[in-house]
Amino acid sequence: MSVTEAMVAEPATQLAEALRDAITRLNRRVRQARPVGDLTVTQLSALTSLELAGALTPRELADVERVQPPTMTKIVAKLEDRGLVQRTPHPTDGRQVILSSTGLGREILGQFQRVRDEWLAARLAELTPEERDVLTQAAALLSRLARY
C-alpha cells in the first residue's frame, strides 16, 4: 500500500468505525421504542422476516434469523398461538409447511413501525433544517452502501 493509499484508508477506517457505532446505537434506540405488548424482539424479528419474504419454511426462517431450528420452532409456536403466523401446506413437499404472517401479524408490525417512526420523527424535529438535509443525503448514501 502506498503512502497516499494509507492516508485515504485511515480516514475511511475511522469513518467506518464511527458510522458502525452510530448506526448500532441508533438502531438499538429505535428498537427500544415499541408499543406496549409482550412481543419479544426475537418474535418481532421473525415476524418481520416473514413479512419481508412473503413466506418461508421453518428451516428457511431459522436460517434467515440465524437461530437453530428448535429455537425457531418455539418462536413460531408463540407467534402462531397469538394468531400472528399461519401454516399452510408446502406446494411440492408434503412433509413441510410454509409460514406466513396473518392480517393480525401485519397489523402488529404496522403498530411497531408507527411507534418507531414517531419516535424517530420527534428526534429529527429537534434538529435544524440543515441537519435534516445532511441526514437526507446520508440516508441516500447509506441505502446505496447497503446494496453492495
In a domain, 118, yes or no: yes
Indicate the helix (H) or strand (E) that contains 2: none
- What average pLDDT score do residues 90-99 get? 90
In a domain, 14, yes or no: no
Position 22 scores a pLDDT of 94
Tell me: pLDDT of 84 over 50.
yes
In a domain, 4, yes or no: no
Question: Hey, what amino acid is at 29?
Answer: R
Q: Domain holding 42: CATH number?
A: 1.10.10.10
In a domain, 7, yes or no: no
In a domain, 8, yes or no: no
Q: Between 78 and 36, where is the model more confident?
A: 78
The structural domain count of the chain equals 1
In a domain, 74, yes or no: yes
In a domain, 47, yes or no: yes
User: What CA–CA distances, in Å, run from 117 to 22, 31, 40, 86, 113?
Assistant: 18, 10, 19, 27, 6
Tell me: pLDDT of 6 over 90.
no
Tell me: pLDDT of 8 over 80.
no
Position 2 scores a pLDDT of 54
Q: Please, are residues 97 and 88 in contact by the beta-carbon 8 Å criterion?
A: yes
Cell of 20: 458502525
Position 5 scores a pLDDT of 53
Tell me: pLDDT of 134 over 60.
yes
Tell me: pLDDT of 141 over 90.
yes
Q: Which domain holds residue 117?
A: 33-146
Phi-psi region of 54 (alpha: psi -120 to 50; beta: other; left: phi over 0): left
Tell me: pLDDT of 86 over 70.
yes
In a domain, 16, yes or no: no
Residue that the C-alpha cell 438502531 belongs to: 27
Position 7 scores a pLDDT of 46
